Amino acid sequence: MGLIQGFRRLSKGESNVDIVGRWKTWGLVSLIVFVISIGGLFIRDLNLGLAFEGGSAFSAPVAADKDPTVTDVTAAMRDAGLASPLVQIARSSDGQEVIRVTAETVGVLEAVVDRLAELSGAARDDISVQEVGPTWGSQISSKALRALIVFLILVVIYISLRFEPKMAICAIAALLHDLVITVGIYAIVGFEISPATVIAYLTILGYSLYDSVVVFDKVRENQVLVTGTSRMTYTEMVNKSVNQTLMRSINTSLSSLLPVGALLFVGVYLFGAETLKDLALALFIGIAVGSYSSIFVGPPMLALLKEREPRYRQLRARVTRGGMTPAAAGAGVGSLAVDDDAGDAQQPAGASRPAANPGRQTTVAARGRKKSRKKRRR
């Protein structure tokens, strides 16, 4: 029953999970993953695909009476003149096995085609050959990098115009967090970077930015209620805003991850489409990381930066001095309390209000009794 009620509160934006208050935990997790990703980029270079580095790619269907192994095909390709060939034996959409060979060598084609025809049992005309020169590959790499830089510049301009400076800094930091971790995971695992992967990178940055904008819009909407008479600190207001948008963030992430996961499963395991794998894998990782940063990275960072401002430091000191607890402060964003120097609490409805000056009240009562005795004597 408690679980159902908790889900209902979450779906209505009425949950009170202390997300921002546990910023040290989320910061430690992000720092560990971030350092590992940076280390992966320095220790293991990115596995750039054929379109970026140049080279040759061969694909040969395998006949029913042939059963080649990766070891045999690799040895044969080296004998044919390919340096460091990468061999894969996959299954196509119609169930037929296919030998795929990629290498940095350019120009050694005839001997390789002959050996592939011998190992696979396919005719020479059925073997597809793709050759990319190093100059064209470098051009593609520079264009991809240029597209990423232009995208980041446009994002910085848009965020700077839409939000105040500190919100913009936090949104951009969350965006860079997603980019570095996604690229680092690719470097550590050794996934191949293809043009489809670059397209996916640009797409996931858009997803990450969208989630951050949703959360920060709610923070900006609630920020006007954090005034000198407020009963909550800026951190508690940010936490309330995150809880109000938490269900929306979860729904957005799930509605994106489920079709991408289906695309990854169907494209790779059922149809053996390598291009779909490159696109779907980068999307899946990036959307998951972007959903995490929009909740656990950007808002806590914003709260830490804003709490350094003098007015919010004074607000925290006043709330703490007044004995307000986070639970009481989180009762509602719009809850306000009367701010007086004595720090008196508000009186509940129907309660008698204490006298402002008990000594003066006693003096007035004594004068009234004296007047009553004089009247009786007369």
Q: What is the pLDDT along the chain (378 residues), one digit of tens a residue?
A: 455 665 566 666 566 788 888 899 999 999 999 999 888 888 877 777 777 767 778 888 888 778 788 888 888 888 877 777 778 776 665 566 777 777 776 666 778 888 888 888 888 788 878 777 666 666 777 777 788 788 878 888 888 888 888 888 998 888 888 888 888 888 888 777 777 787 787 777 777 788 888 888 888 888 877 765 667 888 888 998 898 888 888 888 888 888 888 877 776 666 656 667 777 888 888 888 888 898 899 999 999 999 988 888 888 888 887 654 444 444 443 333 333 333 343 344 444 444 444 444 444 445 555 555 555 555
41, 204, 298 from 172: Cα distances, Å: 21, 14, 9
Q: What is the pLDDT of residue 93?
A: 56
Which ranges in the chain are annotated with CATH 1.20.1640.10?
Answer: 18-46+136-306
- CA dihedral (51, 203, 275, 76) in degrees, to 10, reads 40
Strand partners, 56: 103, 131
Q: Which sign does the torsion angle of CA 361, 363, 369, 372 carry?
A: negative
Strand partners, 217: none
Q: State how far the Cα of 130 lies from the Cα of 116, in Å rounded to an integer.
A: 14
- Asked if 86 and 73 count as a contact pair (C-beta separation under 8 A), the reply is no
H/E element, 58:
strand 55-61
Burial (CB count <10 Å: 0-12, 13-18, 19+), residue 91: middle
> What does the chain come to in residues?
378
Q: What is the pLDDT of residue 228?
A: 58
Burial 291-312 (b: 16+ CB within 10 A, else e): bbbbbbbbbbbbbbbbeeeeeb
User: What three-state secondary structure class fits 17?
Assistant: coil
CA angle centred on 63, ends 58 and 67, rounded to 5°? 90
Instruction: Tell the residue number behind the tokens 């696979």, with chain if given.
Output: 120
CA angle centred on 256, ends 253 and 261, rounded to 5°? 115
Which ranges in the chain are annotated with CATH 3.30.70.3220?
Answer: 55-132
pLDDT digits over 142-170, tens only? 777 788 788 878 888 888 888 888 888 99
Tokens, residue 64: 């029913």
Q: Which one is the CATH code of 55-132: 3.30.70.141, 3.40.50.300, 3.10.180.10, 3.30.70.3220? A: 3.30.70.3220
Tokens, residue 22: 């546990």
Q: What is the pLDDT of residue 272?
A: 59
Instruction: Tell the residue number behind the tokens 């007044």, with chain if given.
Output: 322
How many CB atoms are closer than 10 A to CB 336?
A: 13
pLDDT digits over 23-42, tens only? 999 999 999 999 998 888 88
- Domain 18-46+136-306: give its CATH code: 1.20.1640.10
Q: State how far the Cα of 76 lies from the Cα of 72, in Å rounded to an integer.
A: 6
Strand partners, 60: 99
Q: State how far the Cα of 175 lies from the Cα of 330, in Å rounded to an integer.
A: 29
Instruction: Tell the residue number behind the tokens 């992430």, with chain if given.
Output: 253
pTM of the model: 0.67
Q: What are phi and psi of 351, to 5 degrees?
A: -85, 145
